Chain A
Amino acid sequence: MTARTLGLGHAGSVVSAICGRGMRRIGARPTLIMPVLLMPLIFVISFTGAFGSLTRVEGYGTDNVFNWMAVYAALQGAVFAGVGGASATADDLENGFFDRLLLTPGSRVPILVGTVAYSALRSMIPTTGVLFVSALGGLSLAGGPLALLTVYVATCGMAAVFCLVGLTVVYRFRTMRSMILVQVFGFSSMFLSTGQVPIHFLNGWLHAVARVNPITNVLRFARQGFLGDITWSLTWPGLVALGGMGLVSGALSLRQLKRLAA
């Protein structure tokens, strides 16, 4: 029996089983989701509370700081969710479960896709939490209900990307400790963007870095519906950035998975 003969149906059931296993794990141990949920909530409360007066600076772009910070906190939560998905694989590698997965017949790709799907799905929990708290703070939907859709697309996408980055590292080093590297990378990448202030507020090297950081485009895409109308000119660069990051991290993680399975 080969991967080819098992077909797409089998691949789909493996993806669904791995994704479902992750979600059941959250159900069985809710403490697993607490950091992923709590950290972005702490971010949105802290950033809006501490930096609320930023709206008084000319050119900030909104008079309610929640409209700016909510998306940033939600995306940070998505990064944590993505890294957390990869951490589950690190756990499986350390306790030997992953070796048993590799012994099963069929392609290895659904194992990777299932983990990514799990990460994207679980990112919806912190995103919903952040949007709920922000709504209490007066978050406005200037772009209508589509604004919510853009946030969920962006956060699911970011969770998938950072899960793939995490998997690349974890397939290579096979330890939970290696996830610290991905956390540092994810956290730093978010800070080196327009997370807290518009790009024209940034100066020096930070302005140059934020301009080329693809996350800046993802933030623009996700944030547009809270600042004004949703436009195609802000949408496509965000989707391209997500797609590009997904392709690169996907190729890298697949390469490491093949090495691991060889």
Chain B
Amino acid sequence: MRLDSPTGLRLASAQTLALTRRSVVSEWRQLGNVLPGLVFPLLLAAVYTHQFERVILLPGFPAVDSFLDFVLPASLLQSVSFGATEAGTELARDIENGFFDRLRASPCARLPLLMGRLGGAMAVAAAKGVLIVMVFLMFGAEIAGGPAATVVVVAAAVLIVLAIGGLGQVLAILTGNQEAVNATFPLVFTSIFMSSAFFPTTLMSGWFRQVAEANPVTWIIDPVRRLILEGWSWSDVGQALGVPLVLSVITVTMAVVALDRRLGAT
């Protein structure tokens, strides 16, 4: 099927939507898999808010009323990252159980095979993001940038899921193994902790500070945090959305290339 004709594009969109819907329904049926991604970040935020109250007085710490405001982007990122590899895990499961081969045998374009699952992961991430922000607002957090900044904050989280999901799909296509895809979770988890997610890099030292400053997670967290703490700024919006967008383009392109190679090889 050709994607460069209007009919082909319409069909591909319909196929992507159908696979996205399947992915969301699959998540909905396994709420037990979604809950840790909500409970852990909220618990961590609650604990950190009550244990780091003295820390916000340290020279070099951004001016905040409460640690809750500071930790919001970290909790959001942590929450969505829990399900971010799901797009890859689902693809690996489909490869393992043969569903992927049945899809290949059907008149389905290649891109929807990837984008369908990524769409599902992004939809779940958006729902989680809205929920996390609402809980934070309920407990007194404030977003200085207003409702528009809130949308940007959630959109950045969704784009991060696209980037991580693309990476998961690359691994799924290359290995066809769920365990291999799941192995990316510690990598994501470590990337969050070795960034400015929970503490400002200005208060870190040595090699850890250098790693944190070079970590793309920091490049996303910092502008998102400024939107929350300081207010609306177009440059922060650009950075908060641009960095995960570039990462997404890279990982999704890698996934498409890997899929082309896999299909070409068989």
Contacts and interface: CB of A to CB of B under 8 A. Distances in A.
Contact of A42 (B32, B47, B189): B189
Which residue among B189, B208, B211 has the maximum number of chain A CB atoms within 10 Å of its CB?
A: B208
Contacts of A38: 186
B103 to A, nearest CB: 27
Interface string B41-84: 00110110011111100101000000000000000000000000
Interface string A193-225: 000110001111111000000000000000000
B212 interface: yes
Nearest to B194: A46
A197 B51 contact: yes
B204 A53 contact: yes
Leading 4 A-B pairs by shortest Cβ distance: A49-B208, A46-B193, A206-B50, A53-B203
B199 interface: yes
A49 B40 contact: no
Contacts of B52: 197, 201
Interface in B97-147: none
Interface in A161-183: 177, 180
A216 B189 CA distance: 25
Interface of A: 35, 38-39, 42, 45-54, 56-57, 177, 180, 184, 187-188, 191-192, 196-197, 201-207
B38 to A, nearest CB: 11
Contacts of B199: 50-51, 53
B43 A191 contact: yes
Interface of B: 32, 36, 39-40, 43-44, 46-47, 50-55, 58, 60, 186, 189-190, 193-194, 198-199, 203-206, 208-209, 211-212
Contact of A203 (B36, B39, B53, B186): B53
B32 A57 contact: no
Contact of B198 (A50, A56, A180, A207): A50
A246 B66 CA distance: 38
A191 B206 CA distance: 26
B229 to A, nearest CB: 18
A49 B194 contact: yes
B44 A50 contact: no
Nearest to A197: B51
B208 A191 contact: no
Contacts of B206: 49
Given A45-B194, A47-B193, A206-B51, 19 more contacts: A45-B208, A46-B190, A49-B208, A49-B209, A49-B211, A50-B193, A50-B194, A50-B204, A51-B198, A56-B58, A57-B54, A180-B36, A184-B39, A196-B51, A197-B51, A201-B53, A203-B53, A204-B50, A205-B50
A196 B44 CA distance: 12
A180 B35 CA distance: 11
A187 B82 CA distance: 15
A106 to B, nearest CB: 36
B50 A57 contact: no
A166 B73 CA distance: 33
Given A39-B186, A187-B40, A53 B47 contact: no
A116 B112 CA distance: 48
A27 B212 CA distance: 35
A201 B204 contact: no
Contacts of B203: 52-53
A188 B209 CA distance: 28
B47 A49 contact: no
B40 to A, nearest CB: 7
Contacts of B36: 180, 184
B193 A42 contact: yes
Contacts of A201: 51-54
Nearest to B209: A49
Given A46-B194, A50-B194, A51-B199, A191 B204 contact: no
Contacts of A54: 55
A203 B50 contact: yes
Contacts of B32: 177, 180
A54 B198 CA distance: 13
Contacts of A197: 51-52
Given A177-B32, A196-B51, A53 B58 contact: yes
Contacts of A180: 32, 36
A139 to B, nearest CB: 16
Contacts of B55: 53-54, 57
A47 B47 CA distance: 15
A53 B60 CA distance: 10
Nearest to B53: A203
